[in-house]
Amino acid sequence: MTVQSRDPTTASTVDPTAPLLLFDSGVGGLSVLRKVRALLPQAPVIYVADNAGLPYGSKTEAQIAARVSGLLGRLTERFRPRLVCIACNTASTIALASVREVLEVPIVGTVPAIKPAASMTRTGVIGLLGTAATIRQGYVDRLEAEFAADKRLLRHGAPELVTAAEAKLRGESVDPAVYARAVAALRSQPDGERIDTVVLACTHFPLIEDELRAAFGPGVSFIDGSDAIARRVAFLTEGQDWRRNQPDLALFTKGGDDVDQLGATLVANGLERVAIF
């Protein structure tokens, strides 16, 4: 996770109705929103899903950086959030630096939880599930070199799991073979049978952790960055006043049946208004 430093002297000057803005390519960031709400239930929230750009994992780095920077620039200009959380590993590992050139608000990003995974593993073999774009990033290489140099990190890009998580939240059934294929892709790599810890390096994946747990079988632990992200958001907004003067908002960059089918899930996550940006 990467953040801008907090300036505590500005806490008293923040508009109490200014929202937190959480951004993801789809609904995966709801896994982060749930943890943020647990710590800051009083915080007004705007959740943004760039579903018109989904999936990010198949795009080039240049495409992702330009899209995320442009969208967040327009969003912050319109909604004046007190903090932006990029609740997307792919967007964070690629676009965080360029976004900081655009925005003048605190930013919290998310990156693969390799450091805690290295402390958790007993066998020394860690699996990492992410998007194709995330697993190839030099940022991930650096995290591995810094925190897991004496471990074995096996990576797999699993775009099917993003689709599965989105489908699950729409109430659709998902073929269990989707999860079995992701497990097999990790297990089939050298030392893959010794994996005992799996990093969920996409915010969509905690939404299907139960299904992945069943597919991996016993003896495997899972880790993602959502708890640490929520704690960081709480720290950066410590001492600020909050006032929610209207129901929280979910913004999508494209409408359609897929968005309509998410209605119950959005309400369950406290997002009672829906709009297209």
pLDDT tens-digit map of 132-151: 999 999 999 999 999 999 99
Catalytic residue, candidates 48, 64, 71, 88: 88
- Return the half-sphere exposure (C-beta side, CA atoms, 13 A cut-off) of residue 8: 4
Side by side, the strands of the sheet bearing 248-252 are: 107-109, 83-86, 20-24, 45-49, 248-252, 271-276
Please say if the pLDDT value at position 80 is more than 90: yes
pLDDT tens-digit map of 112-123: 999 999 999 999
**What pTM was estimated for this model as a whole?**
0.92
Q: In 29-175, where do the E strands start and end?
A: 45-49, 83-86, 107-109, 125-130, 152-157
The answer to whether 85 is a known catalytic residue is no
Tokens of 238: 């410590």
pLDDT band of residue 199 (cuts 50, 70, 90) is: very high
Catalytic residue, candidates 114, 135, 202, 230: 202
The answer to whether 202 is a known catalytic residue is yes
pLDDT band of residue 11 (cuts 50, 70, 90) is: low
8 A C-beta contact, residue 134 and residue 110: no
pLDDT band of residue 111 (cuts 50, 70, 90) is: confident
Domains and CATH numbers, the chain: 8-110+227-276 (3.40.50.1860), 114-224 (3.40.50.1860)
